[in-house]
Amino acid sequence: DRPLKLRRAANGFYYVNGTPTDCVHLAVTGMLEQQPDMVVSGINAGANMGDDTIYSGTVAAATEGFLLGIPSLAVSLVGRELKYYETAARITTELVQRFAAQEFRQPWLLNVNVPDVPYEQLQGREVTHLGKRHKAEPVIKALTPSGETVYWVGPAGKAQDAGAGTDFHALLGQRVSVTPLQIDLTQFNQLDAVQHWLGQL
């Protein structure tokens, strides 16, 4: 319910007073004279694996590009101290160059997680599917110096499904995970059950 404002930083980059999705939407539909060849979102500081993708602003921005008909990447650096952004940048460059050399026939949405290690220590790249986390840890209650109660969001849950083929498993082996995503979240195997339940009302 508020207008978006476009600003230009001293380094020449543009920024918007909105969400990552707003940035992509404004650029593609209102700013650029022609549609870009690709949307790259990130590098996000921290993992976007498994259930994270549902909440992620980084993935949401790439999803907006995909919905606008543009091949899109969401890139995240996974680790504790996050020292090796150059590793994620180099992987991103490789993927963009691969796309430029051999385009897909249809737009795609790829979620990329890169281990926070020197590039030379990467153990490869792996096409993966999403794993699953345990539920998040509880919020942490605290008091400010003025006596006001505040709540810190608890840490993300640990991996529940980190089996072979998942993004979690790839990262545990210091491999880059590349996961193709889709938009439709419909739980098709529950359609009949919900229809039966709804018929009881």
When divided into structural domains, the chain yields a total of 1
CATH of the domain at 27: 3.40.1210.10
- Band of residue 107 on the pLDDT scale cut at 50, 70, 90: confident
Please state, in angstroms and rounded to a whole number, the distance separating the CA atoms of residues 48 and 62: 12
Q: What is the pLDDT of residues 122-162, one digit of tens each?
A: 999 999 999 988 677 788 999 999 999 999 987 776 766 67
Predicted confidence (pLDDT) per residue in 12-35, tens digit: 999 999 999 999 999 999 999 999
Is 78 part of a structural domain of the chain? yes
Q: What is the pTM of this model?
A: 0.88
Q: How far apart are CA 166 and CA 169, in angstroms?
A: 5
Are 111 and 179 spatial neighbours (Cβ–Cβ below 8 Å)?
yes
- Cα 62 from Cα 41, distance rounded (Å): 6
Contacts of 44 (CB under 8 A, 6+ apart): 56, 58, 74, 75, 76, 77
- Structural domain that includes position 176: 6-133+159-199
In a domain, 153, yes or no: no
Q: Domain for residue 90, yes or no? A: yes
pLDDT of 161 reads 60
169 pLDDT more than 70: yes
Q: C-alpha 175: how far from its chain's center?
A: 17
Place of tokens 């529950």: 190
